[in-house]
Structure 1
């Protein structure tokens, strides 16, 4: 529906405000339910784990590499290209020593089915030049051979019996040993030479701090926005702006929880960017609404809001469309390292454009915004000053 004003067509946006409210409520309920039931699938930045960068002598077959990593028993392994088609980033939610324990247990089961790896101590006492100790049950000292603990991976070792168990001190840790072993496995199964470029570990404690500080950052951002809009416009406007931002953030987070897409620091950065994008669009609309409330002498609040939204529609449409074009290109051609970032912004831009119309402006209607709310208060004694 639309109406005419000064020869220009005015779209009746607020005519659909009740169905729009119902749609927003449904989206929020689904998002909150997904967050409560599934939760966010936190990536390596938040959970902690290992990250290895390798270079292949031939173009890497990513699906094949992912299959190899799953066979090796790594925890939620991820393999993505970065830089070129021969550079591969391998990430796993767990230390490389976890894969090392899996590989060692497999060799142990093949060689000595009755034996068992009891424990791994990464800081043994009286270790000398050794970095860790491995405790086995069901083994004798003579069973600890290069076939069980390949020297090419573990370096030198020393075995000794302690209380019906065998303790083996090794020169290289499971992390170091398994990283080397994994490279050999990749070389053997891909037929390409593999060179280790970098290996690092992100601790879960750091991840927890990043998660908590990121969440606190979003809350602080919403509080500052509310104060700014209340001072710049009026309290009802600040409520509309903050509800729109909360609406956008919850839906984006719910989208990632519903489809169990990895949530890492790049996605968190995208969520914060969505707050800025949505707020910018909302402020433009609010500024035009305030201006029209002071200029338009006739018409209801809905008429003023419809006229303001119509006047800013072209700007909103062009800005959102050009932004989405860039984000879609990043999502399609940017590679997996930034796919989550691009996807979060795509969802955020779409939802943010919608919320600038049907959440922020709708809130003004539900709070019964009127022209008097935007008029400056009269000074005391002003009537006396105007008397001759």
Structure 2
């Protein structure tokens, strides 16, 4: 089996899985309970929070645990809207955000908020000048993803942060779900107020994530109830998942440089190979993320290509796992000006540090065979 779908989810590190199992077996108490088992769980929760804060270079009271990237995005956006609605109802996002952001913005539009979506160029990147023009006195939030999940475009987060220094009343949220391991440090500019991470994107467990919230920046709770997470996110904490996430994040950041180099080597090799075909188009920009490569073969729908490779034991995906079963036209490619006929044919290879050149060679060999087969059918 060759697994090239790491942007959808990664395989857990064995060490993280071991932590998850041991914690759930031995430290299974509710961290809010007063007895010894509860105290042990609470101590591990504090230890995990401190380790994650240290890894991110932030304070412990700026780290909040969630169920994943989708909840973190929803909380950052809806929490800002609820907290700052008296100051304004204007928000800004790029036109290539993950559905966890765009669908949330659409909900807020129904409640009277106004959303400005910034266009992107043919590389999928926003213009800082466009953002500056869009900012208003009633703007309360800018939400820009660090790395696009479909094509791997890297957004100018540092430059946006520098611009927003002049707009201190605006919350700056970054969806960094695809950036853990690719960007080190993950928080690339001190102006970032809110940042979303999801454990299963960096070899941790599913169902657990992080929202970084800068000290002093106010957002309303998304979940209310028992008062966990300093009253900001009420529900019993997933202690085993959080401990495993902490370990996975540490291992990912420690291996970041080596893994990024390996991913870049394989990505560039595959990009050069695919670009040699006249009827194949590579959409990912050359200066994009090292782990994402989006391409299409003319006339072959994405789902057909996915299943053809699956039959050979190679797992790739259409451009976004979150919408792959809806047969939607990839919105990122549409925003980049790609013809819908090409967009419907797009597939994504997404890599991790454990992928090898031998796997890339096997992919290329199978692609040669499949290309001949599809050409005959056409």
TM category (shorter chain) comes to: under 0.3
TM-score, normalising length: structure 2: 0.20
Quick check: which has more Rg, 1 or 2? 1
TM-score, normalising length: structure 1: 0.20
